[in-house]
Amino acid sequence: MLRVLEACPLLEVLHLDSVHFTFLSDEAEGFGLPETAVMLSCLRRVRVKQGSPQWAVRSILSHIMAARHCCLEIIVGSASLKVLTDVVPSWLDAKGKFPGLSLISHLDIRLLGGGELSIKGIGSGADVFKFDTTTFLDYPQILPVLGRIFPMPLLERLTVINCRDHAEAFAEFLDRHRTIQAISLSGAEPKMMEIFRVTPTRHLCPSLRELVIEQCNVSAAHLVDVLKSRIRPGPTSVFPEDSTTSLRHLKIIRCLHITRAAVAELEEHLVVECA
């Protein structure tokens, strides 16, 4: 197949649907795989549809060198981390071959009804990564795994819809991506909000300037207490000496426990928008 791709340098769209190899991965060397990647500079979209773990897709993708504007789209059935990591090349395999992945500045993750999961990575104003599945079994670990598959050094904006009960995984991801400046959360519980508290020993998202919370089950007192720790200077702020960024903008959407008094108190320190 790679030989066929070599003969199609003007290829713009590549679909891989339920690809399987009949031999094992450790037998692949005997089939004469190209030592260098196949250059497909016109490739705009790679769409992978896979129902079960199969190393064949990862092998093919790791031997393709696409343009930076190419979008890698993966669709799987009942998914687990095993499927995701078996389909997507590791960062070492894909480095330089799908350069758009390293340009992701906005990551959008949505867990919808029935376990449907949708992920979109946007870089330079265009989609460069998409992942969709109807049932995802390991959602608490999706953020850490994504960060390990391909680091996102330019990530500035993160959107997470229905982010309940995954605070530890979320904190691990934030710790890996300290460039994030804006976060939008839907459905966050108190434990999730607590990770934004700045303490003498932990300061996740040191560049965070904008926070949007929607339908979050957080009390007014808890929200005020956590966010005041991110305001510099502030009564409960414990910013490290080398920190220069303070939370500047808060948007609250349909959070029933947030009172007008809490909003007024926060407005003394930052811009607050209610919708």
pLDDT in tens, the chain (275 residues): 788 898 999 999 999 887 776 655 555 555 555 567 889 999 999 998 876 656 677 778 878 889 889 998 988 766 555 556 665 655 545 456 788 888 899 999 888 777 788 889 999 889 999 988 877 666 666 776 676 667 789 999 999 988 766 788 888 889 889 999 999 999 888 999 999 999 888 889 999 999 999 999 999 999 999 999 998 655 555 555 545 478 999 999 999 999 999 999 999 999 999 98
Does a structural domain hold residue 9? no
pLDDT of residue 92: 45
- The domain total for the chain is 1
Question: Per the domain annotation, does 179 fall within a domain?
Answer: yes
The domain in which residue 110 lies consists of 72-92+102-274
pTM for this predicted structure: 0.85
For residue 199, is it within any domain?
yes
Q: What is the CATH number of the domain that holds 151?
A: 3.80.10
Q: Is there a domain that residue 35 lies in?
A: no
Is 52 part of a structural domain of the chain? no
Kindly state whether residue 137 falls inside one of the protein's structural domains. Answer: yes
Please, what's the b/e burial string for 40-68 (b: 16 or more CB within 10 A of its CB; e: otherwise)?
Answer: beebebbebbbeebbebbbbbbbbbbbee
pLDDT of residue 63: 84
- Is residue 267 a part of any domain in this protein? yes
Q: What is the rounded distance in angstroms from the CA atom of residue 18 to the CA atom of residue 60?
A: 13
Q: List, in sequence order, every residue forming a beta bridge with 121; answer none if it has no partner.
A: 107, 129
Whether residue 210 is contained in a domain is answered as yes
